[in-house]
Structure 1
Amino acid sequence: MSKNARNKNARKANALTQREIAWGGIAFYAVIGLVAVVAIGFTFMQTRSSADSPSVAGLVTKDDLGREHVSGTVAYDTSPPMGGDHNPVWQNCDGRVYDAPLQNENAVHSLEHGAVWITYRPGLAAAQLDALTNKVTGIDYTMLSPYPAQDAPIKLTAWGHQLSLDDASDPRVDEFLRGFVKGPQTPEPGAACDGAKDTP
């Protein structure tokens, strides 16, 4: 083979083997793919239904709750409310024990953030109140307060979910807390539960 032919073949081989990688195109499609994955994940989180929520005996659920920020009072159809339109300021729910009733509209905002609100009818036995206090104290996304108008000694409420109980030692207290503190019912996962309203 002549020297010219060898040089020509070498140039052809070099042209094929030294092709540059199109990093711009790869980066573009990688970003598009990442955006698509994030969008699908966010949509999934926002559309989880109550069917994904834990099953607790005696649980009452409510769907299609409003989520508007409003001023003034809201006429809720359950006591305590399970969700709905609410005050723009949430009630601090970072393991708080309140000794007076809370404003419904602030507490409902906390439910939207993933809190569980434990309420009790005034006059609950001291031992039972102590047990509920121990369940809440220092546990983020929980709060405890009296609720004079409720029809059961104890109620546990999360967004769209409520459980009525007669006794603080009922094992369903722990079941409810495990299932609903920042659970799948949460309309605004990751939203804060402190730094807002600190008093009843």
Structure 2
Amino acid sequence: MSKSARNRNNRQKNPLTHSGPPWGAIAFFSVIGVIVVAAIGFAAWQAFKPATPIAGLVERDGLAQDHVETRVQYDTVPPMGGKHNPVWQNCDGRVYDQPVQNEHAVHSLEHGAVWFTYKPGLPADDLNKLKEKVSGTDYTMLSPVQNQDAPIILTAWGKQVKVNDADDERIDAFLKAFLKGPQTPEPGAACSGGKATP
């Protein structure tokens, strides 16, 4: 028997040397591919699924963005946007114990900040919780507002929600939705290097 015939016979006897398709490897990589596609699809769904609406959310569109050096008469307390001072209020997790000027705070909203305001007389426990949340979160600021009509109000550019206490779940939902959110007119703009005092 020739050498090539012997090699051919040996290959036929040894199943590990057959030249057919590697079905095991094909099946393995097919399963891996299905898992990867499913994982990517689930991640995309999580990223783009509609958010649960925030109860009591007030929204405004078409707010002016002009810079002015004068005081502005806003139609909400605190204001949700509109004309504002050229200098923003520092909102790098800043806690103010005195009211800040609306015109500076509105400029911060334009940069993507969330402004926490509270009515003076808020229970100390609630105030401490707000201070803790703000001081650890960039693009936020906290200040008192004498004549607001709710104990706590969260405001972003064109967005606002009123809550009664610092444990309200809507606080975190509002931050997640609007802190540097899609409503931000000037994304990437600074929240420090502006006005540092009330």
TM-score normalized by the length of structure 1: 0.73
State yes or no: 1:140 paired with 2:172. Answer: no
Partner of 1:86: 84
Tell me, in whole angstroms, the C-alpha distance in 2 between the residues paired with 1:114 and 1:83. 11
State yes or no: 1:77 paired with 2:103. Answer: no
Segments of 5+ residues of structure 2 without an aligned counterpart are: 1-49
Match of 2:95 among 94, 97, 118: 97
Tell me, in whole angstroms, the C-alpha distance in 1 between the residues paired with 2:115 and 2:195. 15
Letter in 2 for 1:96: R
Max radius of gyration: which structure?
Answer: 2
Point out the more displaced range, 112-121 or 172-181: 172-181
Give the deviation of 1:191 after TM superposition.
0.3
In the superposition, relative to structure 1, how do residues 54 and 108 fare at CA in structure 2: closer, same or farther (>3 Å)?
Answer: farther
Partner of 2:22: none
Map Cα deviations across residues 118-154 of structure 1 (whole Å, 9 max, x no partner): 0000000000000111110031100000000100000
Match of 2:160 among 148, 159, 162: 162
TM-score normalized by the length of structure 2: 0.73
Letter in 1 for 2:129: A
Match of 2:181 among 161, 183, 191: 183
Letter in 1 for 2:151: P
Tell me, in whole angstroms, the C-alpha distance in 1 between the residues paired with 2:63 and 2:51. 16
In the superposition, relative to structure 1, how do residues 156 and 54 fare at CA in structure 2: closer, same or farther (>3 Å)?
Answer: farther
Count how many residue pairs are aligned between Structure 1 and Structure 2: 149
What SS does the corresponding residue of 2:162 show, helix, strand or coil? strand
The answer on whether the counterparts of 1:53 and 1:183 sit within 8 Å (CA) in structure 2 is no
Tell me, in whole angstroms, the C-alpha distance in 2 between the residues paired with 1:92 and 1:108. 11
Give the deviation of 1:53 after TM superposition.
8.3
Tell me, in whole angstroms, the C-alpha distance in 2 between the residues paired with 1:138 and 1:198. 17
Runs of 4+ in 1 over 2 A off after TM superposition: 52-55
Question: Identity of counterpart residues, as a percentage?
Answer: 66
RMSD: 1.3
Tell me, in whole angstroms, the C-alpha distance in 2 between the residues paired with 1:169 and 1:157. 17
Give the deviation of 1:57 after TM superposition.
1.1
In the superposition, relative to structure 1, how do residues 54 and 87 fare at CA in structure 2: closer, same or farther (>3 Å)?
Answer: farther
Partner of 1:122: 120
Alignment of 1:55-70 (within 5 A): 55-70=53-68
The answer on whether the counterparts of 1:160 and 1:185 sit within 8 Å (CA) in structure 2 is yes
